[in-house]
Structure 1
């Protein structure tokens, strides 16, 4: 069982677990509102992932959002496994992939059409919805070999990742959920001049009362003129107050290192008694290895092996970490 501390305005207590700060996902609960959730700020980890590929800024922003969603959901896994977020769309950025492997490893990459991206930027259509276009978002839980995979599919039709995540919870898990994401590129002074740094943050809050009927959403309009949430959210006062409180979050608060996760939680929920639990450190770690790639190549036919040879060797680059592996064709027989 995870230890917890109550978040108060006595700041020394806020760091009692030493889990706040960049690249840590902090679970929390607000018992007064029957809410549980997670909050994160990504910093150095995000720099490492994005700078490795030197993505154009619009692409980097999209992938940063994908990383935030992935760690918020992936760190909820209670078993050894992997959470995978992947988009396939017809937009200039036709694929985003981010996966989180328990207990703390994150990797991600984006695929885009440079010419179409430049055209979108010049036309002033470089927002997330424009770059993604139409397609699908797949959220997959992989429990390992010999275990069933669970996958949720959300249609992307000019929607952002934040909106798609909300749709996923509403349709697949049927748990009232609120999600907020924020991404920014900061220019900070340093030795040898200023340097750009990426930051991203997010919060996910879910309504989990003991009485299931409190989560229930109305199936049909009452027909008597009463107003209902167009998203089908429950009318429970606790949930409506939660939505109102998270609606006050400024995008800068989710990424500002001087605010921090715990201080933001205190500002939002101190009147209801917010409690934070030991956090999960997230690291930029790829799961590729020479043995894994060799295993894949061993499944190739002789013709495929021959076609893969260039200058007397087979070279494979990992799309996630950009590490290069070289193999002698003789390793795979005739």
Structure 2
């Protein structure tokens, strides 16, 4: 049985290293179904979805993780959000005429930057930004952690437009291995074994089989999986707040410019929220956004 739409943590008993596996199936398909992405873009978006799912398990907070890659190339934007509740959404912007069938990250996002933003429900927002300086998203994320003060972290990511999978290894603070040389050797050994993993194995093997193939000589514990799902956080209420933030004069101007109805589209899920003159008047009178007006379509 394949392991899709959940993450699963594992821990090496004789080394200060933890790992995480992720598989995305239906949740990945929900993201792709909202837009007609070319295959190379769908693959990159799947890899970034897998990366966000892996990272949310390493961060002990209640809130939202946002990964955003930007460039001046054929794919100017990749953006993925994953909540601490395992809710995913993602989007890509692209220029189809510039995308070759076998294009990879370097061709699609030259001179790009990668931003990771942590938005806790309570507490301070954090953002880190690095260059997209690897041949793959996995390399770029690995380099991101290498340039920060975080613990050494490695990524292996793969997506084929149907499934997205990922593996993360992260070194933990010294506990079982106290000497720096022994810690470094253990980390290198486990990462080197993971480097032998093929895309076909990562996409095709269930978690237990995959870990046995890589680490059958190691003692490790595999924990219970945590579910993931696609869910967009857009709502009529949030769209109404965006409209109110414009102020009554600009909102009235939008109504005039759009024939008496303002339509706000969610870029992630294509949901549309329409507001007519009666709705807008109700919003600025403090009446809320939910009660339908007589002229709503």
Report TM bin, short chain. Answer: 0.7 to 0.9
Give runs of aligned pairs for residues 43-192 of structure 1, distance below 5 A: 43-117=25-99, 121=100, 126-144=103-121, 147-157=123-133, 159-185=135-161
CA–CA distance in structure 2, aligned partners of residues 288 and 247 of structure 1: 39
Match of 2:213 in 1: 267
Contact 2:169/2:191, CA 8 A, preserved across alignment: no
Task: Report the Cα offset of residue 59 of structure 1.
Answer: 1.1
Q: Which TM-score applies when normalising by structure 2?
A: 0.87
Match of 1:203 in 2: 167
Task: Report the Cα offset of residue 162 of structure 1.
Answer: 1.0
Q: Over aligned residues, Cα RMSD in angstroms?
A: 2.4
Task: Report the Cα offset of residue 22 of structure 1.
Answer: 0.8
Task: Report the Cα offset of residue 60 of structure 1.
Answer: 0.7
Matched, 1:238 2:159: no
Q: Which TM-score applies when normalising by structure 1?
A: 0.77
- Cα distance per residue 1:60-98 (max 9 Å; x no partner): 111111101110002333332001001121111001110
CA–CA distance in structure 2, aligned partners of residues 312 and 73 of structure 1: 44
Contact 1:176/1:215, CA 8 A, preserved across alignment: no
Query: 1:246 aligns to what SS in structure 2?
Result: helix
Match of 2:293 in 1: none
Structure 1 residue runs without a partner (length 5+): 1-14, 186-197, 218-233
Task: Report the Cα offset of residue 212 of structure 1.
Answer: 10
Query: 2:52 aligns to what SS in structure 1?
Result: helix
Structure 2 residue runs without a partner (length 5+): 285-297
Task: Report the Cα offset of residue 235 of structure 1.
Answer: 7.2
CA–CA distance in structure 2, aligned partners of residues 213 and 266 of structure 1: 23
CA–CA distance in structure 1, aligned partners of residues 179 and 84 of structure 2: 30
Query: 1:319 aligns to what SS in structure 2?
Result: coil
Contact 1:23/1:42, CA 8 A, preserved across alignment: yes
Task: Report the Cα offset of residue 135 of structure 1.
Answer: 2.4
Q: How many residues align?
A: 280
Query: 2:245 aligns to what SS in structure 1?
Result: coil
Query: 1:298 aligns to what SS in structure 2?
Result: helix
